[in-house]
């Protein structure tokens, strides 16, 4: 058996290839949209990709099932409750897929979504204990899938929670301890709240250490797994629907092109949104007025999908020589309306000097002084609830997590100075740029974020 995990740090997303080396038949599970790595590996090993399985309708990225099928002729498989605009193979509970001696078996594990499945892997067809199980978003390392995402349109969180209870407590925990666990996501994903940085585990380890796998009633389970979930990024529903739909294929060869400064400026004037993927400090030193700062060195795709509208034309300013990378990362979440990018951002900003403006970033000491003045700013905390509970918060700060900010702009006063902060200064730069993009005029963020504020305001030990 050949088995490989492909892990994408930006989205904390794992996909897999399983093949029988004797027959050369392979299946890819939960592929991302840029599929060249899977195809290159298959070609190098002489494999034929005969099938592509999605464990569920993903909400945090656009899966690459259509691209894989177009390039290989493979069938596309989903759980039997899935309904799509394109032809699929509906996989029933207990159904087996033979790749030769290597065998896959489908286990229905709904709860994160109604159609969710897990995939049992048998290295030899006569084995009774699986080599491992691909759990999709049903079971993570240290957590389980959340049943409250709006992507599950038409099904309530309580209904999904009851399904997830049965899937985790009865089906997955019914497997032998030695079965390896390979989830679809890891730490940082918004598909759960307590995901581990580990890329694999075992059923036994999860039985012993995962809070949601301990014996409990259905009611206790639903309450504990739905408590404290962060707001889902705004693009999740868009991607969940897109993954059901017939859609254009992603082709790196026809990706957006570099633009002249004049062409870029014209599209910007016509209403295209400028996404500036440079470091927050570079952005603060000078950026095109109205640009939204989503730094490349971070969870770029997820954060871009959080603050940018899916139906907008986009223009990209990226760190030098990373333009095509940024376009691909946007495509992974279905943001295909990229009109182009600047090949040399420094030269372009010089040429467009009249449209360039700095961004205000204040030290914690400057913010403290401002709060003691006659016209104190409104502090906006864009961290998640758990961060505030664990680390503390600035008194009287307005709390709106970054994931909720685009839909809660009306709650922020426009007539007062604003100071935004996150934990360290990355998300606050995104949030502050979004407010400026929407016409807020007196906006700053805190250099070093809440960590800098807490250090300044913690009494020295005697």
- Given a contact cutoff of 8 angstroms between Cβ atoms, the answer to whether 14 and 186 are in contact is yes
| Sign of the alpha-carbon dihedral angle for 178, 32, 232, 240 | negative
The percent of residues above 90 in pLDDT, for the chain, comes to 82
Give 446 or 230, the one with higher predicted confidence: 446
d(CA 427, CA 50): 42
**Are residues 341 and 323 in contact, defined by beta-carbon separation less than 8 angstroms?**
yes
Cβ-count burial 349-358 (b if 16+ within 10 Å, e if not) = bebbeebbee
Mapped onto helix, strand or coil, the DSSP state of residue 63 is strand
- pLDDT for residue 340: 93
- pLDDT per residue over 179-207, tens digit each? 999 999 986 555 455 555 778 999 999 99
Dump pLDDT digits (tens) for 378-417. Answer: 999 999 888 888 899 999 999 999 999 999 999 999 999 9
Q: Give the pLDDT confidence of 53-63 residue by residue, as tens digits.
A: 999 999 999 99
Are 31 and 71 in contact by the 8 Å Cβ rule? The answer is: no
Residue 389, both tokens: 């509970």
Q: How confident is the model at residue 462 (pLDDT cuts 50, 70, 90)?
A: very low
Q: Summarize pLDDT for 414-448 with one digit per residue, the tens.
A: 999 999 999 999 999 999 999 999 999 999 999 99
pLDDT confidence of residue 148: 73
pLDDT for position 189 = 52
Residue 420 near residue 378 (C-beta atoms within 8 A):
no
Q: How confident is the model at residue 147 (pLDDT cuts 50, 70, 90)?
A: confident
What are the beta bridge partners of residue 5? 16
Q: How far is the C-alpha of 335 from the C-alpha of 333, rounded, in Å?
A: 6
Gap between the terminal Cα atoms of the chain: 63
- Give the pLDDT score at 197: 72
Q: What is the pLDDT of residue 43?
A: 98
In angstroms, the CA 380 to CA 55 distance is: 38
Query: What percent of the chain lies above the pLDDT cut of 70?
Result: 95
Does the predicted model carry a pTM greater than 0.85? yes
Least reliable range by pLDDT among 19-28, 275-284, 318-327: 318-327
Task: Give the SS3 label for residue 288.
Answer: strand
For residue 153, what pLDDT is reported? 63
Read off the tokens for 31: 């592929």
| CA angle centred on 405, ends 266 and 191, rounded to 5° | 105
Structure token pair of residue 55: 């464990």
Measured between alpha carbons, how far is 122 from 321 in angstroms, rounded to an integer? 44
- Position 233 scores a pLDDT of 82
CB 40 within 8 A of CB 64: no
Helix (H, G, I), strand (E, B) or coil at 298: coil
| Residue of higher predicted confidence among 117 and 198 | 117
pLDDT reading at 151 higher than 50: no
pLDDT of residue 195: 58
Query: What domains are there in the chain, each with its CATH number?
Result: 2-242 (3.60.15.10), 255-357 (3.40.250.10), 360-457 (3.40.250.10)
């Amino acid at each position: 058996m050949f088995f490989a995990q492909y892990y994408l740090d930006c989205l904390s997303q794992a996909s897999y290839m399983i093949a029988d080396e004797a027959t050369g038949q392979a299946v890819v599970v939960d592929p991302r949209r840029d599929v060249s790595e899977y195809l290159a590996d298959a070609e190098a090993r002489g494999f034929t990709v005969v099938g592509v399985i999605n464990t569920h309708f993903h909400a945090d990225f656009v899966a690459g099932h259509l691209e894989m099928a177009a390039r290989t002729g493979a069938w596309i498989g989903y759980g039997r409750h899935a309904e799509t605009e394109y032809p699929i193979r509906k996989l029933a509970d207990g159904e087996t897929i033979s790749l030769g001696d290597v065998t896959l078996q489908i286990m229905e594990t709904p709860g994160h979504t109604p159609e969710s499945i897990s995939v049992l892997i048998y290295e030899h067809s006569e084995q009774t204990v699986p080599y491992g199980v691909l759990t999709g978003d049903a079971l993570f390392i240290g957590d389980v899938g959340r049943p409250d995402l709006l992507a599950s349109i038409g099904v309530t969180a309580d209904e999904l929670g009851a399904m997830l209870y049965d899937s985790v407590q009865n089906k997955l925990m019914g497997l032998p301890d030695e079965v390896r666990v390979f989830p679809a996501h890891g730490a940082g994903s918004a598909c759960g709240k307590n995901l581990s940085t580990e890329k694999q585990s075992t059923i036994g380890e999860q039985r012993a250490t995962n809070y949601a796998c301990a014996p409990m009633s259905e009611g206790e389970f639903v309450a504990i797994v739905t408590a404290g979930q962060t707001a889902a990024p705004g693009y999740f529903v868009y991607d969940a629907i897109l993954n059901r739909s017939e859609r254009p294929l992603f082709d790196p060869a026809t990706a957006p092109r570099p633009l002249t400064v004049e062409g870029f400026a014209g599209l910007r004037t016509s209403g295209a949104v400028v996404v500036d993927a440079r470091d927050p400090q570079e952005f603060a030193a000078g950026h095109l007025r109205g640009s939204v700062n989503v730094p490349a060195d971070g969870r770029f795709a997820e954060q871009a999908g959080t603050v940018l509208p899916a139906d907008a034309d986009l223009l990209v300013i990226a760190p030098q020589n990373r333009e095509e990378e940024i376009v691909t990362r946007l495509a992974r979440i279905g943001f295909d309306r990229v009109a182009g990018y600047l090949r040399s951002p420094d030269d372009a900003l010089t040429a467009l000097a009249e449209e360039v403006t700095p961004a205000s970033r204040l030290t914690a000491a400057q913010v403290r002084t401002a709060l003691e003045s006659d016209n104190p700013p409104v502090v906006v905390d864009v961290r998640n609830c758990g961060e505030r509970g664990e680390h503390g918060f600035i008194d009287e700060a307005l709390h709106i997590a970054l994931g909720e900010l685009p839909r809660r702009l009306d709650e922020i006063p426009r007539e007062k100075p604003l100071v935004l902060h996150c934990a360290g200064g990355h998300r606050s730069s995104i949030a502050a740029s979004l407010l400026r993009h929407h016409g807020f005029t007196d906006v700053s963020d805190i250099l070093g974020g809440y960590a800098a504020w807490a250090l300044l305001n913690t009494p020295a030990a005697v």
